Amino acid sequence: MADSFGPVLSGRERGALVHEDAPEGSESANEPYRKEPIRVLVVDDHALFRRGLEIVLAQEEDIQVVGEAGDGAEAVDKAADLLPDIVLMDVRMPRRGGIEACTSIKEVAPSAKIIMLTISDEEADLYDAIKAGATGYLLKEISTDEVATAIRAVADGQSQISPSMASKLLTEFKSMIQRTDERRLVPAPRLTDRELEVLKLVATGMNNRDIAKELFISENTVKNHVRNILEKLQLHSRMEAVVYAMREKILEIR
């Protein structure tokens, strides 16, 4: 299933996903199938695209499409009824867009994790999606097997973002910091020197395995550091931690 969506999934960027290592206690890469399938709600205003995703995901034994919606308003209603594990949602749709729908979906289905799948490579959309609670932001020109891989990764507690968008995210927050240089910031919770080292490497897009090699520590130690960082900052994902660190000037971006 290495083919791509082709013209149905048009977009400006193409590239592999940024994959984080699974958190401690999650299923390993050698155990691809769960006991229960991952329940997915597909949200897009193009019926042909929704149908294409259903056909692709139907080939995955551990993924089940439980419903579909044509806009953000319908997505909120469907999420409340179906309580999906993953919401795979476009950004720009009629009546109510995907980003606007994120917050409402998190209210009616708190356990649902949202992946934006879109042609929009605007950094403002990426930033707003993260603020609204999205755990992933992928451009539509990814291969079909990457869609399934992203769903599994997010279901296991990871964040997924296209590399080109990760670069734009860093650029956006660098600009934001420069615009707010004179704003008095609330003191951030204190991180240890090692936690700051880990956070800086996370900000460059490194996964846990690469960070472990860079710092000459074990992968489990890296996972523990990331967990401690999130707990101290009261955040839920690595992306949120990087955003927070930039905003509060914990990290210096050159």
* 88-113 confidence digits (pLDDT tens): 999 999 889 999 999 899 999 999 99
Q: What's the domain range around 57?
A: 6-162
Residues 6+ apart with CB under 8 A from 193: none
Residue 233 C-beta-side C-alpha neighbours within 13 Å = 27
Residues 77 and 148 in one domain: yes
Please say which residue of 162, 194, 223 terminates a domain: 162
* pTM across the whole model: 0.59
- Say whether pLDDT at 130 is over 80: yes
- Say whether pLDDT at 21 is over 80: no
Q: Please give the distance of CA 124 from its chain centroid, rounded to a whole number.
A: 15
Residue range 225-237, pLDDT digits in tens: 999 998 888 887 7
Query: Which domain CATH number covers 122?
Result: 3.40.50.2300
Query: Which domain CATH number covers 200?
Result: 1.10.10.10
The Cα 62–Cα 219 span in angstroms is 27
For residue 171, tell me if it sits in a domain. Answer: no
- Say whether pLDDT at 70 is over 50: yes
Residues 219 and 104 in one domain: no
Mean pLDDT of 113-137: 87
Residues 117 and 58 in one domain: yes
Confidence of residue 191 (pLDDT cuts 50, 70, 90): confident
Helix (H) or strand (E) holding 78: helix 72-82
Residues 39 and 152 in one domain: yes
The domain total for the chain is 2
Q: What is the Rg, in whole angstroms, of the alpha carbon atoms belonging to the chain?
A: 18
Phi, psi of 160 (to 5 degrees): -130, 130
Residues 153 and 190 in one domain: no
Please report the pLDDT score of residue 73 as a whole number.
Answer: 95
